[in-house]
Amino acid sequence: MNKCIALALFFAICAAVQAEENSSEYTTNLFKLMDVNKDGKVTRSEFVAYRRERAKKDRKSFDSKAAEQEFRKKDQNKDNALTREEFMASAKDK
């Protein structure tokens, strides 16, 4: 019985690690997608443009004020650009 519990716990831990790796990979790819000019940061206009296109693709309404507010929350140093680190940190906060 104890071996079964230990084995189940092992698989649960493996699944959690895999999910975190997949989430990190997804977030990294999303950052690269938003960084249109490939300068290593996502500007306010790149962020808002991505959100607008995503809403259009998902056939949802787009709220530019909400997108701007989300950007300001993510922009920790208030330089109007998201570094990869800022973007990754904000993704972990969710």
Helix or strand (DSSP H, E) at 42: strand 41-43
Within 10 A of 31 (CB to CB), how many other CB atoms are there?
Answer: 20
When pLDDT is cut at 50, 70 and 90, the band that residue 91 belongs to is confident
3-state secondary structure of 81: strand
pLDDT tens-digit readout, 6-32: 445 544 554 444 444 447 888 999 999
pLDDT tens string 28-74: 999 999 999 999 999 999 999 999 999 999 999 999 999 999 999 99
Helix (H) or strand (E) holding 38: none
**Which residue ranges form the domains of the chain, and what is each CATH number?**
2-92 (1.10.238.10)
The DSSP output letter for 37 is: T
